[in-house]
Amino acid sequence: MNVKLFGPELYYLLMALVFFGLSLRRRENVKQDYQIALALTGLGVVVTLLSLFQQGDLFYQAYKVDLFSQIFKFALALGLFLVLTISHNLAHIENRYHAEYYLFLTTTTIGMMLLVSSVELLTIYVALELSSYSLYILVPLRRGDDIDVEAGIKYLFIGAVSSGFMLFGLSYIFGITHTTYITEIVPKLGQLVDSPIGIIGLLLTLSGFFFKLSVFPFHFWAPDVYQGAANQVTAFIATASKAAAVALLLRLTALGSASGFSFTQALWVLAIVSMTLGNLVAIVQKDFKRLLAYSSIAHAGYFLIGILTLKADGFTAAIYYALAYLIMNFSVFLVINEVAKDGRDLKLPELAGLYRRSPLLSMTLILGIFALAGVPPSIGFTGKLLLFTSAMNQGYFWLVLIGAVNGTVSLYYYLKVVYAAYFVEDGGLPPVQLSVPIRILNLAMAAIIIGFGVFPDRIVNLAREAVKGIL
Amino acid sequence: MLIFNQLSTYLYLALALFAIGLYGVLARRNLIAMLISIELILNAAMINFMAFNRFLAPHPAVGQVITLFIMAVAAAEAAIALSIIVAVYRKLKTINVEQATELRG
């Protein structure tokens, strides 16, 4: 076994041990803990970047290291690092729990890293549960009013039911193919995927990831958890966790690539319902995080458009969009976290006059929101363009049409945010002070959103290379 | 041929357990009862794995190993769920979900 292949996971495992040690101390040292966490996760990004082009198998072929998995590991490491950069004021998490907050963020990242590399059903299940359980604990960690435990309990129960569904589906797949290795399942499932047991097994299996991505029948948790969890935890759930879910959906839907009509038809319906429902309900939201939750449900539908093409083009687009979604969603959460410094839930009217209170933040906000809405020349536009063209090339005309209509509907509530920030007078709300690192972060986010939107070639080529390994 | 030496018997049993569990999660309002229902769903999956393993699988151990893993993971899940239920009880003085409805919209 080559230890270097397992490098990023080992690094994050050691990091979790460090945080575990920190959480055992009797006297907490918030500032020092934060600096340690920031330095370690920053180094983690470098570690995953260095292992980007590694290839190989581990653990009796149950664990595959390829470009696809390494790209997503890098994205996860980046997501964790970004979330920690906005964790400098964990106002809603008690001081004595800070070390545990870092610990559970790290363990959920390890779980997701294992998840994107695993190519065996039992490994996938255990890795998924590792990443979910840590998040179940993080959500009710918020102090204050009672909404945190309520959000926590909803997240836990919907998550547990969906993982039960997934396990039941896995048992059927195991039953008809007699194996748990994805590489062996694909040829055997080919003839069986259009039989009732095959399609039910595959759809039930996918439901575990539909939950993570908040696709339609498993979306109920999203608004409550987004609002009820601390802002930083929500930022992690909305960025890194989604990227991992997209990765696994890509790996698992590749199982159904031999199927004809019925499998894609089912995904088609889910995509349309998710998009439409998310966008329509988002219109009436007043709470900014709740609005983003419904926007994430809508985005789950867009991801499914790329996934259900079951072709290299669509998968490439989905990978690109997953990375873009991480960046643009994080930019918006960066703004939320800085405007709501005391960790409260931000209502839309509280954004009033942001362009005067903090021009830099309002620029990041408008770029992030326009990217989410898909306005050129942001990464969001490029991603949507790739997704829609890939679906169009496969002849999904109605799907693309409904997707485009949805994109227009979503503009309404995205522009409502921009309106609140730019065209409403501040009415005495105080200016927002930014520290120097946060200023740099703002500029970096803006540069990435525009830069990779105008010049997406490098990322797209990388994604195209990665897709070759899974289809 | 005996009825309990057939694959389909166990598949129907698992399906029934799954359905009961799903019904329990949707219909019961008590958090503990909902947790038990989720365990039923997991048990249904375990029975499936054991049955497929006994009647179809070429390798006799895979399904059993998976079942053991599910048991361990389900125990961890129950621990987390119960600890959050205790937190709910401390804050809301109830474990009935009808009372936990502050988040709306």
Domain for residue A212, yes or no? Answer: no
Average pLDDT, whole number, for chain B? 85
Are A336 and A328 within 8 A, CB to CB? no
Domain for residue B8, yes or no? Answer: no
**Mean pLDDT, range B56-80, rounded to an integer:** 88
Domain for residue A461, yes or no? Answer: yes
Tell which residue, A438, A444, A334, A450, has the closest CA to residue A382: A450
pLDDT at position A266, please? Answer: 83
What backbone torsions phi and psi does residue A63 show, to the nearest 5 degrees? -135, 120
Domain for residue B24, yes or no? Answer: no
pLDDT at position B15, please? Answer: 92
- Pick the residue from chain A with its C-alpha nearest to B34: A157
pLDDT by residue for chain A (471 residues), tens only, comes to 677 788 889 999 999 999 998 888 877 788 888 888 889 999 989 988 888 888 888 888 888 888 888 889 999 999 999 999 888 887 777 778 888 889 999 999 999 999 998 888 899 999 999 999 999 988 888 876 667 788 888 889 989 999 999 999 999 888 888 888 888 877 777 777 677 887 888 888 888 888 888 888 888 888 888 888 888 889 999 998 899 999 888 888 877 776 666 778 888 888 899 999 888 888 888 888 888 999 999 999 898 888 888 888 888 889 999 999 999 999 999 888 888 887 778 888 888 888 888 888 888 888 899 998 888 888 888 888 888 888 888 888 888 898 889 888 888 888 888 888 888 877 777 788 888 888 898 899 889 888 888 888 888 888 888 888 777
CA separation for the pair A224, A259 (Å, rounded): 36
Tell which residue, A281, A294, A198, has the closest CA to residue A238: A294
A63 beta partners: A58, A118
A60 vs B: CB within 8 A: no
| Amino acid letter, B42 | L
What ipTM describes this predicted complex?
0.91
Domain count for chain A: 1
Are A291 and A282 within 8 A, CB to CB? yes
Give SS3 for A50.
Answer: helix
pLDDT at position B59, please? Answer: 76
CA separation for the pair A208, A166 (Å, rounded): 5
CA separation for the pair A465, A458 (Å, rounded): 11
Tell which residue, A172, A169, A97, has the closest CA to residue A128: A169
Q: Which domain holds residue B53?
A: 30-98
Looking at CA atoms only, how far is residue B88 from chain A in angstroms? 6
B78 vs A: CB within 8 A: no
pLDDT at position B101, please? Answer: 60
Radius of gyration over every alpha carbon of chain A, rounded to an integer in angstroms = 21
B57 contacts in A (CB within 8 Å)? Answer: 174, 178
pLDDT at B19 over 90: yes
DSSP code, position A58: E
Share above pLDDT 70 across residues of chain A, in percent, rounded to a whole number: 97
B103 and A172 within 8 Å at the Cβ level: the answer is no
Tell which residue, A456, A459, A462, A453, has the closest CA to residue A379: A453
Domain for residue A354, yes or no? Answer: yes
**Mean pLDDT, range B85-93, rounded to an integer:** 84
Average pLDDT, whole number, for chain A? 86
pLDDT at B17 over 70: yes
Are A429 and A352 within 8 A, CB to CB? yes
pLDDT digits (tens, 9 = 90+) for A53-91: 888 888 888 888 888 888 899 999 999 999 998 888 877
Are A331 and A445 within 8 A, CB to CB? yes
Give the CB-side neighbour count of residue B72, counting CA atoms within 13 A.
Answer: 10
pLDDT at position A258, please? Answer: 67
- Pick the residue from chain B with its C-alpha nearest to A140: B84
Domain for residue B35, yes or no? Answer: yes
Looking at CA atoms only, how far is residue A153 from chain B in angstroms? 7
CA separation for the pair A261, A258 (Å, rounded): 10
B84 and A224 within 8 Å at the Cβ level: the answer is no
A149 and B31 within 8 Å at the Cβ level: the answer is no
Provide the CA A403 distance to its chain's centre, in angstroms: 20
Lowest mean per-residue pLDDT among A397-401, A467-471, B22-26, B81-85: A467-471
Are A176 and A201 within 8 A, CB to CB? yes
- Pick the residue from chain B with its C-alpha nearest to A156: B81
Contact residues for A53 (Cβ-Cβ < 8 A; gap 6+): A67, A70
A370 vs B: CB within 8 A: no
Give the sign of the dihedral formed by CA A403, CA A379, CA A325, CA A90.
negative
Looking at CA atoms only, how far is residue A126 from chain B in angstroms? 7
Share above pLDDT 70 across residues of chain B, in percent, rounded to a whole number: 91
Are B81 and A156 within 8 A, CB to CB? yes
- Pick the residue from chain A with its C-alpha nearest to B50: A171
Q: Which two tokens stand for residue A258?
A: 């031999």
Looking at CA atoms only, how far is residue A99 from chain B in angstroms? 19
Contact residues for A433 (Cβ-Cβ < 8 A; gap 6+): none
Longest dimension (CA), chain A: 67
B38 and A224 within 8 Å at the Cβ level: the answer is no
Place B105 in a pLDDT band, splitting at 50, 70 and 90: very low
CA separation for the pair B90, B53 (Å, rounded): 44
Looking at CA atoms only, how far is residue A208 from chain B in angstroms? 13
Size of interface A-B (CB pairs under 8 A): 117
Contact residues for A250 (Cβ-Cβ < 8 A; gap 6+): A68, A307, A315, A318, A319, A467, A470
Domain for residue B14, yes or no? Answer: no
pLDDT at B18 over 90: yes
Give SS3 for A57.
Answer: strand
Domain count for chain B: 1
Domain for residue B82, yes or no? Answer: yes
Domain for residue A471, yes or no? Answer: yes
Domain for residue A122, yes or no? Answer: no
Determine if the peptide bond prior to A377 is cis (ω within 30°): yes
Q: Which two tokens stand for residue A18?
A: 């460090």
Tell which residue, A194, A195, A199, has the closest CA to residue A169: A199
Q: Which domain holds residue A294?
A: 260-471
pLDDT at position A260, please? Answer: 63
Are A361 and A434 within 8 A, CB to CB? yes
pLDDT digits (tens, 9 = 90+) for A34-48: 888 889 999 989 988
